């Protein structure tokens, strides 16, 4: 695969981002209303766009295979959300590429620390984050799913 990571700029690219996040949410078989996902989906560009956020789409020949976002959580702290690759693109390192790029974006944006949460079913994601230097941290937001891991990375 000759995947390129692009930041959404056009309406079509933000619609592709929304589609991937909706696919991600559906794959969880979990009601994400506790995260106010409806609002997030309606405001992707302001949630994840400049000046405090970043969003990347994995693209090849006009098709999109994955995504990841970063938004401001608090002063100097960013939150990584929505790391997702479509099932057909798994196992080729795309998740790592997206995760590394979003961590790099956090540094560029001047964040001192990055936070994320990952569900207990997401063992591969948790292993990926730990391999990138993330460490367990206290719950920083409400998540009703037992066994959710809260992780942080000092930048």
CATH number at residue 87: 3.40.630.30
Over the stretch 109-125, which tens digit does the pLDDT of each residue have? 999 999 999 999 999 99
Confidence of residue 31 (pLDDT cuts 50, 70, 90): confident
Query: Residue 1: what pLDDT?
Result: 60
> Taking the alpha carbons of 39, 44, 50, 56 in that order, is the dihedral positive or negative?
positive
- Among all chains, which residue has been given the structure tokens 């020949």? 61
pLDDT at 2 over 90: no
Asked, for residue 121, whether it belongs to a domain, the answer is: no
Asked, for residue 136, whether it belongs to a domain, the answer is: no
For the chain, how many structural domains are there in total? 1
Over the stretch 52-97, which tens digit does the pLDDT of each residue have? 999 999 999 989 999 999 999 999 999 999 999 999 999 889 999 9
* pLDDT averaged over every residue in the chain: 95
Q: How would you classify the pairing of strands 113-118 and 77-85?
A: parallel
Asked, for residue 140, whether it belongs to a domain, the answer is: no
- Among all chains, which residue has been given the structure tokens 């991937």? 20
Confidence of residue 23 (pLDDT cuts 50, 70, 90): very high
Asked, for residue 56, whether it belongs to a domain, the answer is: yes
Asked, for residue 155, whether it belongs to a domain, the answer is: no
List the one residue out of 118, 120, 119, 147 whose CA is nearest residue 134.
118
Range of the domain at 28: 4-114
Instruction: State the pTM of this model.
Output: 0.94
> Taking the alpha carbons of 22, 26, 27, 30 in that order, is the dihedral positive or negative?
positive
Residue pair 84/26 in contact (Cβ under 8 Å)? The answer is no
Confidence of residue 32 (pLDDT cuts 50, 70, 90): confident
Q: Is 35 left (phi over 0), alpha (psi -120 to 50) or beta?
A: alpha
Residue pair 17/37 in contact (Cβ under 8 Å)? The answer is no
Asked, for residue 46, whether it belongs to a domain, the answer is: yes
Q: How far apart are CA 20 and CA 37, in angstroms?
A: 13
């Amino acid at each position: 695969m000759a995947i390129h990571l692009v930041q959404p700029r056009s309406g079509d690219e933000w619609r592709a981002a929304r589609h991937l996040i909706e696919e991600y949410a559906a794959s969880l078989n979990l009601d994400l209303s506790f995260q106010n996902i409806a609002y997030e989906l309606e405001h992707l560009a302001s949630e994840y766009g400049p000046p405090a956020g970043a969003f990347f789409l994995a693209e090849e020949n006009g098709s999109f295979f994955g995504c990841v976002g970063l938004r401001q959580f608090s002063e100097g702290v960013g939150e990584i959300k929505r790391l997702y690759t479509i099932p057909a693109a798994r196992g080729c390192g795309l998740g790592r590429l997206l995760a590394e790029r979003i961590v790099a974006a956090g540094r560029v944006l001047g964040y001192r620390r990055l936070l994320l949460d990952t569900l207990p079913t997401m063992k591969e994601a948790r292993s990926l984050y730990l391999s990138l230097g993330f460490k367990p941290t206290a719950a920083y937001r409400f998540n009703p799913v037992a066994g959710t891991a809260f992780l942080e990375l000092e930048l």
